[in-house]
Amino acid sequence: MNTTFKEENNDFVMYFEGRLDTAAAPQVEHETAALTDCTGHDIILDCSNLEYISSSGLRIFLSILKNAKPKGSHVYIRGLNDELRQVFSMTGFVNLFEFK
């Protein structure tokens, strides 16, 4: 599981690649700390190369959202494949996030 952080057009973009399962979650959580100080930036979570997300992965996404909202930042999710979209639908996360 790899993550890459980039700043593109004033947005914070985090690229996820591989399987975000329970084992990978602690490392990914550590790496997403880069998104904590997001005042004045919107956040894009790019999932184009994400193959799988577990409930612990969803918790990380939710933490990012809960941190960004009070700071006035939007959190967008980009490039979900059909399988991941189904997980987001089933867990009710489609109602929490914005999608690009």
Partner 1 sequence: MIDSTLIFLGFSVHAWITIFTVVSIFIVMSRSRIPAEVAFLGALTILLVTGVVTEEEGMAGFGSEPVVVHAAFFVIIAGLMQTGVLYWLTKNVLGDPRNYKNALLRLMVPTSIMAALLNSVNVVALFIDAVKIWSRKLNIPPSKLLLPLSYAATLGGMCTLLGNSSNLVVAGLYMSKTGQSLNVFEPLLPGLVLTIVGVALVMLLHRYIPPHESAEQSFETTSDYTVELLVPTDNPAVGETVEDAGLMNVKGGSLVEIVRFDREIIMPVPKDEWIIGGDRLIYAGQINEILELKRTHGLAAADHHVWSINDIDTKRRMRTAYVTFGSELIGMSMTECDFEQKNNVALIAVARQGKRVEGQPREIKLEAGDTLLLECPPKGEDQLEQTNRRLLTFFDSHFVPQLGKKTITSAVILVLMFIISSFHMLPLMATTMLAAGVMMILGCCRITNVTKYIEWELLLILGATVVFSVAITKTGIADVIAQQVLQLCNGNPYLVMAVMCLLASLVSEFVSDVGASAVFFPIVYHQAELLGCNPLPFVMSLMLSVTLSFASPIGSSTHMLIYGPGSFRFTDFARLGIVMHIVLMVVMLFVIYAIYPL
Point out which residues bind partner 1 (CB under 8 A).
22, 54-56, 58-59, 62, 65, 87, 89-93, 95-96
Measured from the CB of residue 50, what is the shortest distance to partner 1 in angstroms?
A: 15
Pairing of strands 11-20, 43-53: parallel
Order of strands across the sheet that contains 75-78: 2-8, 11-20, 43-53, 75-78, 98-99
**Beta carbon of residue 58, minimum distance to partner 1 (angstroms, whole number):** 6
Q: Which is nearer to partner 1, 6 or 59 (CB)?
A: 59
Q: What is the DSSP string of 16-61?
A: EEEEE-TTTHHHHHHHGGGGSS-TT--EEEEEEEEEEE-HHHHHHH
Nearer to partner 1, 5 or 99 (CB): 99
Q: Which is nearer to partner 1, 21 or 31 (CB)?
A: 21
Closest approach of partner 1 to the CB of residue 34, in Å: 21
